[in-house]
Structure 1
Amino acid sequence: MQNQDKDKYQQAFADLELLSSTDGSFLGSSLQAKQQREHMRAKVLQELEKVNLRLKSAKTKVTIRESNGSLQLRATLPIKPGDKDTRRTGRKQYNLSLNIPANLDGLKTAEEEAYELGKLIARKTFEWNDKYLAKEAIKKDLKTIGELLETFAEEYFKTHKRTTKSEHTFFYYFSRTQRYTNPQDLATAENLISSIERIDKEWARYNAARAISAFCQTFNIAIDLSKYSRMPDRNSRNIPTDAEILSGINKFEEYLNTRGSQVNQDVKDSWQLWRWTYGMLAVFGLRPREIFINPDIDWWLSPENADLTWKVHKDCKTGERQALPLHKEWIDEFDLRNPKYLEMLATAISKKDKSNHADITALTQRVSWWFRKIGLDFKPYDLRHAWAIRAHILGIPIKAAADNLGHSVQVHTQTYQRWFSLDMRKLAINQALTKRNEIEVIREENARLRMENEKLKLEIEKLKMELLYKHS
């Protein structure tokens, strides 16, 4: 296939503005996927009209119609074997299914088949053979999962606009389908469901079902995965307190005292980049990818950045936003605007293809590796959860906190606040009580001052009366 043919699907998406979403959940991704499928279907139907006009101009007595994701040839033909000639004309209108997908490539195939059928009709040589009886499609051997995986990317991006985000989503679907299935198995619903049921861990089974669902949708494999669509209960997390976050960043420097002397000189200072990354995750509650996908380093270091915001690029999971910090003092304390660390960031991402999901994944995995290496008891994403909880404790409105983290209020309340541990709840309650006690103290102090004020007024009036008495 020529490059032009390969790009025609992405050219068809050129005028599509994806729905802006602050919901990074599966629901948010599904809505965008639906929008793209509907957009591509509209494009196919537009092209179908043009094809039918060409067929009509050529006086070909065949038209093409779309039905349930397939293209059919419609023509008046001799009565099919076994069919009844109710009108006694010897002819009847039929829709012929030739197993042609309703996409841009399928349109080209369907048009060629329509001209071929038209010639047979014009010459009165049409016969009902296996092809037109749809027996050839039945005879075709089913493909294996491995064979379909080889064309998964090509077929998937016929219905999805290619972006950094969609590349990452596809990589998620591909890698999990590949991991949990046997490439030698035939790509049937039974075999795919069996692959899911062999998975012991609930979360792995749920994620595999999501990926296999996308795989089946791409290749029009009828399958019912509703049994596996319920999200499992989340495992417990270790959400760090502010004190533990402060202690954690010191572990990067402690690493210097414990690492061996045989250190590659090219990477001996690399720990500083990962310490900086740790600090950014803690201060802004970012997703790790939001640091590495097209970071606006100039803005971060700019004197005009008075609010100290981090600009998240539009290619990230939930689009562009400016993230505000919590605990601004940590920016100075962690030295997060030191140009040296930003140069290290620029160097790290320059070695990767920033549009390649696998390269970005390698960087985010490196963050997790460093957390384990220096002995932290929590994971990178736990810093994001800690940010959400800290915002709640500080009394920041849920909508503001959710927008700052780049997700919906629903995701914020359902996902993040469930990690409100007993210690966090105690802290929140104690802070609320302390605030209440402070208010009571202020009220009592105001009442005391009012009483003293009234007392002073009485004393002044008394002195005025005494002075008046003396002078009278």
Structure 2
Amino acid sequence: MHNQGQDKYQQAFADLEPASSTDGSFLGSSLQAQQQKEHMRTKVLLELEKVNLRLKSAKAKVTIRESNGSLQLRATLPIKPGDKDSNGTGRKQYNISLNIPSNLDGLKTAEEEAYELGKLIARKTFEWNDKYLGNEAIKKEFKTIGELLEQFENEYFKTHKRTTKSEHTFFYYFSRTKRFTNPKDLAIAENLISSLEQIDKEWAKYNAARAIAAFCVTFNIEINLSKYSKMPENNSRNIPTDAEIYDGILKFEDYLHNRGNQVNQNLQDSWQLWRWTYGMLAVFGLRPRELFINPDIDWWLSQENTDLTWKVHKDCKTGEREALPLHRQWIEDFDLRNPKYLEMLKGAIAKKDNTNHAEITALTQRVSWWFRKIGLDFKPYDLRHAWAIRAHILGIPIKAAADNLGHSVQVHTQTYQRWFSLDMRKLAINQALSKRNEVELIREENAKFRMENDKLKLEVEKLRMELVYKRSYTQN
């Protein structure tokens, strides 16, 4: 997918291990992106020092400096037209901006320009033309959104280490920017904001704004998207109850009996893989991708896996973790450790490139397609929300539940607990009251036992005193 021109950027990232994060939110992704941006800037500045040493050795009388994401040439030159000769020397030190970005490619261009300027200075032939006055940059025509989209991947990975996660993130930004904008529009803030305003659904607008923000950062387009940065308050979701989840697994069986004749013999049993997928999402609250990106099938079937955990690979959205199940009985009820289904999983992912975001996306979309095909009233991610709510109802600490789902406590509380329906709240309150009643009952029973124990102690003491009295009487 990427070209050879990107190799030097990825080599620069070779010694960087992206910060581990359990936050799949925009905030978590932004922190990782910032870390990579700072790493690349450090690499550029180190290379800049080397370039300036070469220029000094060549006695070019020009240096290169970095300022606000751009590279500038610094040299002592004849007074610029319209400028004051305050020292009376006829010369002055200037920073010349040639609109060169501060990256590894820009450094190469800047070094070439520095040598060219150095020759003009040495020959005393320098003149203030449009190039050095910056007029060429001003005259430069704006590019269209479509033209920049063609360059988006190449430019994006100049500041991001190319991994499975970053590929997925880029595809998210690219696909949404392309979907919600007009490629023929000029890539200016006014047109991009106009595109956002035409989106009716709040969540679609919020997600598009995130993508367009990344697009604008990549191409240094000044834009204010703060109006769209707040996560929408409401969204319609149908969070299934445990009973509905159990009924859902049975709908796959119904599909088998009602589907009619299957033309393609190779696909006769494929429904079993998607039923297994459904069950795993319900038991572990996983993101669908976490089943398909380098799954540790051997561990899942291992006898040593006594806790019945699913190992999420490090290339997934929020890094590696071991997810623990809720309702362990479902693992047996849904037959989730049947080697047959895991062989089907191997077959499905063997045909895919696990580093290719588009192919992994195709598998996750297939999951959603099966949900619709068998007539489920909820979506794959609703099983994840259901897991979070169930964990809350069972009294599992928020930090433990959040870690198990692979996100931050903030995301857990702000995102998942918003989906509590009235029925869910009633269930949670009733269970809490039931637990309190159980505690009170235990306390009452303990008090009763203490009273009976004190009574028995009195009886024992009474019998002891009587025995002492009898012995004393007999001796007398």
- Report TM bin, short chain: over 0.9
Q: Matched residues in 2 for 1:263 and 1:113: separation? A: 66
Question: CA offset at residue 455 of structure 1?
Answer: 5.0
Equivalences for 1:231-250 in 2 at 5 Å?
231-250=231-250
* Residue deviations 1:107-139 (CA, integer Å, cap 9, x gap): 001101111111111011111111111111222
* Residue deviations 1:354-408 (CA, integer Å, cap 9, x gap): 0011111111111111111111111111111111111111111111111111111
User: Match of 2:102?
Assistant: 102
User: Match of 1:199?
Assistant: 199
Question: CA offset at residue 24 of structure 1?
Answer: 0.7
Q: Matched residues in 2 for 1:455 and 1:278: separation? A: 59
Question: CA offset at residue 4 of structure 1?
Answer: 5.3
* Residue deviations 1:90-113 (CA, integer Å, cap 9, x gap): 111111111111100010011011
Is it true that 1:161 corresponds to 2:135 in the alignment? no
Q: Matched residues in 1 for 2:111 and 2:357: separation? A: 37
* Residue deviations 1:22-73 (CA, integer Å, cap 9, x gap): 1111000011111111111111110000000000000001111111111111
TM-score by length of 2: 0.95
AA partner of residue 34 (structure 1):
Q
Q: Matched residues in 2 for 1:292 and 1:173: separation? A: 21
Q: Matched residues in 2 for 1:337 and 1:5: separation? A: 45
User: Match of 2:43?
Assistant: 43
Q: Matched residues in 2 for 1:26 and 1:369: separation? A: 27
User: Match of 1:261?
Assistant: 261
AA partner of residue 111 (structure 1):
E
Question: CA offset at residue 451 of structure 1?
Answer: 4.3
User: Match of 2:322?
Assistant: 322
Q: Matched residues in 1 for 2:68 and 2:106: separation? A: 14
Question: CA offset at residue 140 of structure 1?
Answer: 2.0
Q: Matched residues in 1 for 2:36 and 2:424: separation? A: 42
Q: Matched residues in 1 for 2:449 and 2:62: separation? A: 96
Query: Where does the alignment leave 5 or more consecutive residues of structure 1 unmatched?
Result: none
Give the secondary structure class of the aligned counterpart of 2:77: strand
Q: Matched residues in 2 for 1:47 and 1:251: separation? A: 61
Question: CA offset at residue 229 of structure 1?
Answer: 1.5
Sort the Cα spacing of 1:444 and 1:52 in 2 relative to 1 into closer, same or farther, 3 A. Answer: same
User: Match of 2:179?
Assistant: 179
More off after superposition, 444-453 vs 90-99: 444-453
Q: Matched residues in 2 for 1:457 and 1:135: separation? A: 102
Q: Matched residues in 2 for 1:150 and 1:252: separation? A: 42
Query: Where does the alignment leave 5 or more consecutive residues of structure 2 unmatched?
Result: none
- Conserved 8 A contact 2:23-2:407: yes
Q: What do you get for the CA RMSD once the two structures are aligned?
A: 1.9
- Conserved 8 A contact 2:326-2:387: yes
User: Match of 1:212?
Assistant: 212
User: Match of 2:362?
Assistant: 362
User: Match of 1:21?
Assistant: 21
Question: CA offset at residue 242 of structure 1?
Answer: 1.0
AA partner of residue 77 (structure 1):
L
- Conserved 8 A contact 2:248-2:376: yes
Q: Matched residues in 1 for 2:178 and 2:457: separation? A: 86
User: Match of 1:299?
Assistant: 299
Question: CA offset at residue 436 of structure 1?
Answer: 2.2
TM-score by length of 1: 0.96
- Conserved 8 A contact 2:6-2:157: no
User: Match of 1:436?
Assistant: 436
Task: Tell me how many residue pairs correspond in the alignment.
Answer: 471
User: Match of 2:61?
Assistant: 61
- Conserved 8 A contact 2:71-2:101: yes
Sort the Cα spacing of 1:124 and 1:283 in 2 relative to 1 into closer, same or farther, 3 A. Answer: same
User: Match of 2:386?
Assistant: 386
Is it true that 1:229 corresponds to 2:239 in the alignment? no
More off after superposition, 84-93 vs 33-42: 84-93
Q: Matched residues in 2 for 1:443 and 1:81: separation? A: 92
AA partner of residue 117 (structure 1):
L
Q: Matched residues in 2 for 1:34 and 1:313: separation? A: 23
